[in-house]
Chains A and B, each alone.
Chain A
Amino acid sequence: MSAYKDNDPRIHGIKTRIRVVPNFPKPGIMFQDITTLLLDPQAFKDTIDLFVERYQGKNISVVAGIEARGFIFGPPIALAIGAKFVPLRKPKKLPGEVISEEYTLEYGRDCLQMHVGAVEPGDRALVVDDLIATGGTLCAAMNLLERVGAQVVECACVIELPDLKGRERLHGKPLYVLVESH
């Protein structure tokens, strides 16, 4: 259901390029910053290659990326495997007709939107984001796709924070991550 590619030699380079920034966005949070990974062309390429190797030839027709860091990883994967890229955005960003899915935050609620017509019934979809924490955002993303009749094949993230048990919020859908952070 999930995989940690601990034995792939590329994982070490990826893990060491991720920067931890303490107390961001608020005290007590150790923020996993992937921008430093993007500054290392080989490590960034390895990140994408690991996902592409997993998903090519699996008949994935949609890669859905969660705003905004999912927009950095999703499109290169989509381009390499021959899929559409669909951005899942915060409210009022997408023009035209959208469907919305609300989800709960630690304090309050937020909302994810997708264009009507971007994804069709029977599309096989991946959901991509940089990191999974509690799983709330990924769960909202999956709901959007399933509401239009797509099949979510897997959720794919660079980083998982396993202590927050986000994996359990994915309605039994598999999760694939490259690195864990405790």
Chain B
Amino acid sequence: MFAAENGLKGDPRLQAISRAIRVVPDFPKPGIMFQDITTLLLDHKAFKDTVDIFVDRYRDMDVSVVAGVEARGFMFGPAIALAIGAKFVPLRKPRKLPGEVISESYVLEYGTDCLEMHVGAVEPGERVIVIDDLVATGGTLSAAIKLLERVGAEVVECACVIGLPEVKDRCGIKGKPLYILVEPRLLDECC
């Protein structure tokens, strides 16, 4: 599930990617140590390495769709899609996508939210990777998987740059494998 256990043990790129991520305490609310990937995007080599690691993994897996979760999934997904020759499909918050959509709601800590996908963007039988910057509870990724399965696609894997401890010992999300590059940073490790 973690790249380091999956063929990339000791890969120096993973260390550089981890170091490039900034921890912001108490955002969006007290007690949360927010994993900020924007600093990774400022480090061209580390950002390129992030995309390259995913591309190397998926280029020979016959993937025809990369689905990215709004909005940070949009920062990683398209570059991967372009490199492997796949379509990019944005999964968005409600009322952002024009035209006909399907919706899947999911549970938050307080309340619910909803993810939408265009009707017709993904066809039955397509092999799909779902990408987001981070996986915590897996609620958003579960909703994404459901959307794709509802239109008859096959979710091959979910891919995230960062995986929180809650997912470390799980067997993927809804039975789908999860591929993660790094664990969350602790504040003390930060430069």
Contact = CB atoms under 8 A, between A and B. Distances in A.
A48 B81 CA distance: 12
Interface stretch (B22-30, B134-142, B176-184): B22-30
Interface in A78-101: 78-79, 82-87, 89, 92-96
A71 B78 CA distance: 9
A76 B78 contact: yes
Chain B, interface size: which category? 35 or more
B34 interface: yes
Contacts of B36: 95-96
* Residue in A40, A72, A89 whose Cβ sees the most chain B Cβ within 10 Å: A72
Given A24-B99, A25-B95, A76 B44 contact: no
Nearest to A84: B42
A118 B41 CA distance: 10
B88 interface: yes
B113 to A, nearest CB: 15
Contacts of A96: 22, 24, 27, 36
B47 interface: yes
A115 B40 CA distance: 13
Given A38-B87, A75-B41, A75-B78, A68 B98 contact: no
Interface string B76-100: 1011011001111110100111110
Contact of B71 (A71, A92, A115): A71
Nearest to B23: A95
Contact of B28 (A25, A38, A87, A92): A92
A60 to B, nearest CB: 12
Nearest to B97: A35
B51 interface: yes
B24 A44 contact: no
A73 B34 CA distance: 25
A102 interface: no
A95 B28 contact: yes
Interface of B: 22, 24, 27-28, 34, 36, 38, 41-44, 47-48, 51, 70-71, 74-76, 78-79, 81-82, 85-90, 92, 95-99, 118, 121
A109 B87 CA distance: 35
Given A68-B71, A94-B38, A118-B42, A44 B22 contact: no
A48 B80 CA distance: 13
B41 A86 contact: yes
Given A67-B71, A95-B24, A41 B86 contact: yes
* Residue in A24, A68, A115 whose Cβ sees the most chain B Cβ within 10 Å: A68
B84 to A, nearest CB: 9
Contacts of B43: 84
9 contacts: A24-B98, A25-B98, A39-B87, A68-B74, A76-B78, A79-B47, A85-B41, A95-B24, A118-B38
Contacts of A73: 78
Interface string A1-45: 000000000000000000101001100000101010011110011
Interface in A107-166: 115, 118
Contacts of A67: 71
